[in-house]
Amino acid sequence: MYVCICKAVTEHELRRAIAQGAECFEDLQARTGCATCCGCCEDEARRLLGTTLETQRREAALPIAA
């Protein structure tokens, strides 16, 4: 699904950029170009960044199963 129509950036591309190290909104913009035109997608991109980073942190904190 497209999050940023202006730059044709999908949710998958945003999640990949976060997995590859984007840690803040400015990183996400620089890596994908999202929210660099009209800005209508900024709220959704920020929401996705926050939830994805939170998921990564929780997964990293889980103990490894024996």
The site for ligand FES (CB under 6 A) is made up of 4-7, 34-41
Using the minimum distance from each CB to ligand FES, give the nearer residue, 30 or 56.
Answer: 30
The torsion region of residue 33 among left (phi > 0), alpha (psi -120 to 50) and beta comes to left
Contacts of 16 (CB under 8 A, 6+ apart): none
As measured in angstroms, the least distance from the Cβ of 41 to ligand FES is 3
Using the minimum distance from each CB to ligand FES, give the nearer residue, 19 or 37.
Answer: 37
Q: How far apart are CA 65 and CA 38, in angstroms?
A: 46
Using the minimum distance from each CB to ligand FES, give the nearer residue, 5 or 24.
Answer: 5
